[in-house]
Amino acid sequence: LTHFNPMKTLFKHIIAGALMAGSFLFPPAHSDEIQSKPNPLVLIMLGPPGAGKGTQASMLHDQLHIPHISTGDLLRENIRQETPLGKQAKTFMDKGNLVPDQLILDMLFERVAQADCAQGYILDGFPRTLLQAESLQTRLKGHAQPIVLNLDLADAQIIERLTKRVVCESCGTPYHLAYSPPKKKGICDKCSGKLIQRTDDTEAVITKRLKVYHDQTAPLIDYYNKLNILHSIDCNQPKEKIFSEVVAYIPKPSK
Ligand code: AP5
211-231 pLDDT, tens digit per residue, is 999 999 999 999 999 999 999
Supply angle C-alpha 60, 123, 121, rounded to 5: 65
Q: Which residues of the chain have pLDDT under 50?
A: 1-3, 9, 11-35
CA of 142 to the centre of ligand 1 (A): 30
Residue 64's H or E segment, with its range, is: helix 53-64
Give Cβ neighbours of residue 238 (< 8 Å, ≥ 6 apart): none
Q: Is 165 a catalytic residue?
A: yes
76 C-beta closer than 6 A to ligand 1: no
Task: Write the single-letter amino acid at 144.
Answer: A
52 C-beta closer than 6 A to ligand 1: yes
pLDDT at 255: 58
Strand, coil or helix: 251: coil
pLDDT at 254: 64
Q: Is 198 a catalytic residue?
A: yes
pLDDT at 27: 35
Ligand 1 atom at minimal distance to the Cα of residue 165: 44
- Shortest CA distance to 200 belongs to which of 212, 218, 190? 212
Report the phi/psi class of residue 96: left, alpha or beta, with left for phi > 0 and alpha for psi in -120 to 50: left
Rounded to whole angstroms, the Cα distance separating 151 from 148 reads: 9
pLDDT at 171: 87
pLDDT at 230: 98
pLDDT at 31: 35
48 C-beta closer than 6 A to ligand 1: no
Ligand 1 atom at minimal distance to the Cα of residue 73: 2
Tell me how crowded residue 231 is: count the other CB atoms within 10 A of its CB.
Answer: 17
- C-alpha distances out from residue 242 to 40, 57, 75, 167, Å: 23, 11, 27, 20
246 C-beta closer than 6 A to ligand 1: no
- Closest-CA residue, ligand 1 atom 39, reads 52
Strand, coil or helix: 126: coil
Q: Which of 209, 226, 239, 241 is catalytic?
A: 209
Q: Which of 111, 139, 190, 198 is catalytic?
A: 198
100 C-beta closer than 6 A to ligand 1: no
Q: Is 76 a catalytic residue?
A: no
- Shortest CA distance to 41 belongs to which of 143, 108, 120? 120
- Peptide bond before 67: cis, by omega within 30 degrees of 0? no
Task: Write the single-letter amino acid at 127.
Answer: P
Alpha helices in 95-202, H assignment, sequence order: 101-112, 130-140, 155-163
- Whether the Cβ atoms of residue 164 and residue 177 lie closer than 8 Å to each other: yes
Q: At what angle do helices 101-112 and 71-80 cross, to 10 degrees?
A: 100
- Shortest CA distance to 178 belongs to which of 165, 195, 194, 197? 165
- Whether the Cβ atoms of residue 136 and residue 129 lie closer than 8 Å to each other: no
- Shortest CA distance to 154 belongs to which of 218, 198, 222, 97? 218
Q: Is 111 a catalytic residue?
A: no
pLDDT at 25: 33
